[in-house]
Amino acid sequence: MKFEARNILAPTLVAAACAAILAYLNHKTQPVILEAALQKELHTAALVLPAELPAPVKTNLNGVACHASFGSNGELLGAAVEGVSLRGYGGEIRLLAGFTKDGRLHDFHVLSAPGETPGLGTKIKSEAFHLPLRNRPVSASWALKQDGGDIDAITGATVSSRAALDALRDAIEKFNALNPE
């Protein structure tokens, strides 16, 4: 009996000590991890907004989480808003779309599209897909030609193209909510 208890007690104590050490390290590094994540978000927001705008700040406007750029008088100059679509070829597509105060898409960055087909669906990240969408008014039609719109789909990746536009429409809806003009 003494032998069995020792065989159970020793690994249990080692596991408890390891768990305590990991919990302590997680607690100590959490602020650094959160700060790094925030800096990455702000960097990405700066990429999708016009370069001449002041640095964006993470904020919540009219109930919409965004990265906004403000003028010296507090006027909203641009905002980066996340858009999500669950209609991708392999599931969820998340992107960050940057809009100017006059209601135009400046650019967008695909944050995640893990299930899209490499070489086809991942072309939603390409310059060729982004270029025709840049400077497009949010009031324009955001649909593919196959769906009655005027945007070309990526050849062989219509589902991914539709999902990217669906995520952009989600971001536009959020932008319109924070910028009611």
pLDDT (0 to 100) of residue 54: 92
Provide mean pLDDT across the span 8-25: 87
Q: Report the percentage of the chain scoring pLDDT > 70.
A: 96
Provide mean pLDDT across the span 151-160: 85
- Residue 73 corresponds to which tokens in the numbers above? 């008088």
pLDDT (0 to 100) of residue 17: 86
Q: What is the chain's mean pLDDT, rounded?
A: 87
Q: How far apart are CA 64 and CA 152, in angstroms?
A: 30
pLDDT band at 11 (very low <50, low <70, confident <90, very high): confident
Which value, to the nearest 10 degrees, does the dihedral of the CA atoms of residues 101, 177, 107, 34 take?
Answer: 110
pTM value is 0.80
pLDDT top residue among 120 and 143: 143
Q: Using one digit for the tens of pLDDT, what is the confidence trace for 61-77? A: 888 888 999 998 988 89
pLDDT (0 to 100) of residue 179: 62
pLDDT (0 to 100) of residue 181: 53
Mapping DSSP onto H, E and C, the string for the chain reads: CHHHHHHHHHHHHHHHHHHHHHHHHHHHHHHHHHHHHHHHHHHHHHHHCCCCCCCCEEEEECCEEEEEEECCCCCEEEEEEEEEEEEECCEEEEEEEEEECCCEEEEEEEEECCCCCCCCHHHHHCHHHHHHHCCCECCCCCCEHHHCCCECCCCCCHHHHHHHHHHHHHHHHHHHHHCCC
Would you say residue 107 has pLDDT above 60?
yes
Give the residue from 102, 43, 110 showing the smallest Cα distance to 78.
102
pLDDT band at 109 (very low <50, low <70, confident <90, very high): very high
- Residue 84 corresponds to which tokens in the numbers above? 């999500």
pLDDT (0 to 100) of residue 126: 87
Cβ proximity of 123 and 106 under 8 Å = no
